[in-house]
Structure 1
Amino acid sequence: MTDTNELHVEGLTKSYGDGDPVVLRGLDLTVPTGALAAVLGPSGCGKTTLLRIVAGFLRADAGTVRLGNRVVGGPGVHVPPERRRIGIVPQEGALFPHLSVGHNVTFGLKGVDRPERRRRAEEMLELVGLAGYGDRMPHELSGGQQQRVALARALAPRPQLVLLDEPFNALDSALRAGVRADVRTALRATGATAVLVTHDQQEALSTADLVAVVRDGRVAQCDTPQDLYRRPADPWVAGFVGDAVLLPGTVDTDGTVRTALGTVPLRALPEGNPRTGTVLLRPEQLRLTGPTAQGAVRGTVTDVCFYGHDAMVTVAVDGHAAPVGIRVAGPLRVRPGEETGVRVLGEGTLHRDGCEPTAL
Structure 2
Amino acid sequence: MTDRHNELRVEQLTKAYGPEAPVLRGVDLTVPGGTLAAVLGPSGCGKTTLLRIVAGFLRADAGTVALDGRTVAGPAVHLPPERRRIGIVPQEGALFPHLSVARNVAFGLTGLDRGERRRRTQDMLDLVGLAGHGDRMPHELSGGQQQRIALARALAPRPALVLLDEPFNALDSALRVGVRADVRAALRATGATALLVTHDQQEALSTADLVAVVRQGRIAQCDTPHDLYRRPADPWVAGFVGDAVLVPGEVRGGGSTAITPLGTVTLAAPPQGRSTGTVVLRPEQLRLADASTEEGVRGTVRDVFYYGHDAKVTVAIQGLDAPVDVRVAGPLSIVPGQEAAIRVTGEATLHP
The answer to whether the superposition gives a TM-score over 0.5 is: yes
Note if contact 2:37-2:196 (Cα within 8 Å) is conserved in structure 1. Answer: yes
Q: Write the distance in 2 (CA, Å) between the matches of 1:282 and 1:83.
A: 45
Within 1, Cα distance between the matches of 2:104 and 2:93? 11
* 2:324 counterpart of 1:324: yes
Report the Cα offset of residue 294 of structure 1. 4.6
* Aligned counterparts of 1:291 and 1:319: Cα–Cα separation in 2: 18
Aligned partners of 2:294 and 2:119: how far apart in 1? 68
1:211 alignment partner, SS class: strand
The whole-number CA distance in structure 1 between the counterparts of 2:202 and 2:104 is 31
Task: Report the Cα distance in structure 1 between the residues aligned to 2:253 and 2:335, rounded to whole angstroms.
Answer: 39
Q: What letter corresponds to residue 326 of structure 1 in structure 2?
A: V
Residue 139 of structure 1: aligned partner: 139
User: Contact 2:295 / 2:341 at 8 angstroms: preserved in 1?
Assistant: no
| Partners of 2:232 and 2:4 in 1: CA distance | 33
> Deviations for 1:311-355, whole angstroms, at most 9, x for unmatched residues?
111111111111100010001111222221111112221112xxx
Give unpaired runs (5+ residues) of structure 2: none
Alignment of 1:60 onto 2:60: yes
Q: Any residues of structure 2 matched to 1:182-221 within 5 Å, and which?
A: 182-221=182-221
The residue type equivalent to 1:210 in the other structure is L
1:241-286 Cα shifts (integer Å, max 9, x gaps): 11110110122235321111111122222233x2311111111110
Q: Which residue of 1 aligns with 2:25?
A: 25
Structure 1 segment 41-120 matched on structure 2, within 5 A: 41-120=41-120
Contact 2:4–2:33 (8 Å) recurs in 1: no
Taking the aligned partners of 1:134 and 1:325, their CA distance within structure 2 comes to 50
> Which residue does 2:5 correspond to in 1?
4
Query: What is the aligned-residue identity percentage?
Result: 76
Considering only aligned residues, what root-mean-square deviation do their CA atoms show, in Å?
Answer: 1.3
Query: Residue 292 of structure 1 contacts residue 298 of structure 1 at CA under 8 Å; is this kept in 2?
Result: no
Native 8 Å contact 1:165 1:198 kept in 2:
yes
SS in 2 for 1:51: helix
Give the equivalent residue in structure 1 for 2:269: 268
Task: Measure how far apart 1:203 and its partner are.
Answer: 0.6
Q: CA deviation at 1:293?
A: 4.3
C-alpha distance in 2, partners of 1:47/1:289? 43
User: What is the rounded CA distance, in whole Å, between the counterparts of 1:340 and 1:253 in structure 2?
Assistant: 28
- Unaligned runs of at least 5 residues, structure 1: 353-360
Deviation by residue 1:165-212 (Cα, 9 ceiling, x = unmatched)? 000011111111111111011101111100000001111011000000
Q: 1:324 to 1:3 in 2, by over 3 A?
A: closer
Comparing 342-351 with 129-138, greater Cα deviation is found at 342-351
| Native 8 Å contact 1:315 1:323 kept in 2 | yes
Kindly report structure 1 stretches of 4+ aligned residues shifted beyond 6 Å. none
SS in 2 for 1:87: strand
User: Partner of 1:174 in structure 2?
Assistant: 174
Amino acid at match of 2:306: F
Q: CA deviation at 1:109?
A: 1.4
1:134-166: CA deviations, max 9, x gaps?
000001100000000000000011000000000
- Are the counterparts in 1 of residues 214 and 221 from structure 2 also a CA contact under 8 Å? yes
Measured in 1, the distance between the counterparts of 2:257 and 2:99 equals 65
Alpha-carbon distance in structure 2 between the residues aligned to 1:297 and 1:115: 71
**Which range is displaced more, 299-308 or 81-90?**
299-308
Q: Any idea what SS the aligned residue of 1:348 has?
A: strand
Distance in 1, matches of 2:178 and 2:296, equals 41
Matched-pair contact (CA < 8 Å) for 2:162–2:193: yes
User: 1:355 maps to which residue?
Assistant: none
Structure 1: how far apart are the matches of 2:34 and 2:4?
Answer: 13
Distance 1:160 1:322 in 2: 49
Distance 2:293 2:83 in 1: 67
Deviates more, 1:330-339 or 1:222-231: 330-339
Q: How many residues align?
A: 349
Shift of 1:3: 7.4
Q: Distance in 2 between matches of 1:349 and 1:140?
A: 51
Is 1:40 the counterpart of 2:40 in the alignment?
A: yes
The AA in structure 2 aligned to 1:171 is L
* Cross-structure match for 2:14: 13
What letter matches 1:343 in structure 2? R
Q: What CA distance in whole angstroms lies between the structure 2 residues aligned with 1:98 and 1:194?
A: 28
* Partner in structure 1 of residue 309 of structure 2: 309
TM-score, normalisation: structure 1: 0.95
SS at 1:43 equivalent: coil
Q: Distance in 1 between matches of 2:315 and 2:276?
A: 24
Q: Secondary structure at the match of 1:289?
A: strand
Aligned-pair distance for 1:5? 0.1
Asked if the contact 2:310/2:328 (under 8 Å) is kept, the reply is: yes
Contact 2:72 2:79 in 1 (8 A): yes
CA distance in 1, matches of 2:144, 2:233: 35
Distance change in 2, residues 1:144/1:345 (3 Å)? same
TM-score using structure 2 length: 0.97
